[in-house]
């Protein structure tokens, strides 16, 4: 189990390292949101789901304000990756 978890963490770290600054911001935002929600929630999955939902909501907002922002599915993915990392941090 730990080897599989280590492989997953290495894959995520490799993905993050190859991304531009906007991706980092989405990952950090997802991580922070998830970590805070997980600390105040009963289970860490509450933080993960909250982080993902907030990421989806932000992209919906972007789609309705397309003159200011461009919605991208990758942003939702990056926020979800950050939310997963934040939930793991809350466990530890």
Instruction: Tell me the three-class secondary structure of 50-62, residue by residue.
Output: HHHHHHHHHHHHH
The whole-number pLDDT of residue 68 equals 81
How big, in percent rounded to 5, are the helix, strand and coil portions of the chain?
85, 0, 15
pLDDT along the chain (92 residues), means of 10: 81 78 87 86 82 92 86 90 88 77
The whole-number pLDDT of residue 38 equals 82
The whole-number pLDDT of residue 79 equals 92
The whole-number pLDDT of residue 53 equals 93
* pTM, to two decimals: 0.74
User: What CA–CA distance (Å, rounded) separates 87 from 59?
Assistant: 21
Question: What are the sequence ranges of the domains in the chain?
Answer: 2-91
The whole-number pLDDT of residue 83 equals 92
The whole-number pLDDT of residue 52 equals 92
CB-based contacts of 21, cutoff 8 Å, min separation 6: none
């Amino acid at each position: 189990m730990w080897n599989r978890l280590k492989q997953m963490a290495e894959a995520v770290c490799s993905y993050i390292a190859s991304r531009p600054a906007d991706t980092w911001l989405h990952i950090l935002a997802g991580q922070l949101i998830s970590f805070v929600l997980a600390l105040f929630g009963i289970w860490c999955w509450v933080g993960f789901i909250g982080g993902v939902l907030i990421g989806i909501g932000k992209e919906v907002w972007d789609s309705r304000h397309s003159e200011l922002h461009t919605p991208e599915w990758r942003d939702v993915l990056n926020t979800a990756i950050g939310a997963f990392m934040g939930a793991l941090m809350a466990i530890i």
